[in-house]
Structure 1
Amino acid sequence: MTGPIRHIVMWRVGGDTPEERAMARLKVKTAFEGLRGRIDGMTQLEVGLDVSGVDYACDVVLVTEFRDAAALEAYASDPEHLRVRRELGSIRIARFQVDYPAAAPAPAADGVPANGHAANGHAAHEGILAGQ
Structure 2
Amino acid sequence: MITHIVFFKLKDRSPESIERTAQVLRDMEGKIDELRHLEVGLDVLHSERSYDIALVTKFDSMDDLQAYQVHPVHKKVIEHMTLVREASVSVDYES
What band does the TM-score fall into relative to the shorter chain? Answer: over 0.9
* Residue ranges of structure 2 left out of the alignment (5+ in a row): none
1:81 corresponds to which residue? 74
Q: Which has the higher contact order (CA 8 A, sep 6+)?
A: 2
Q: Secondary structure at the match of 1:53?
A: coil
Quick check: which one's strand share is greater?
2
1:10 corresponds to which residue? 7
* Residue ranges of structure 1 left out of the alignment (5+ in a row): 103-132
Q: Secondary structure at the match of 2:36?
A: strand
Please give the TM-score of this superposition, normalised by the length of structure 1.
0.68
Please give the TM-score of this superposition, normalised by the length of structure 2.
0.93
Larger Rg: 1
Shift of 1:23: 2.0
Q: Distance in 2 between matches of 1:60 and 1:53?
A: 11
Q: How many residues align?
A: 95
2:94 corresponds to which residue? 101
CA RMSD, Structure 1 to Structure 2 (Å): 1.2
Q: Secondary structure at the match of 2:17?
A: helix
- 2:42 maps to a residue whose letter is L
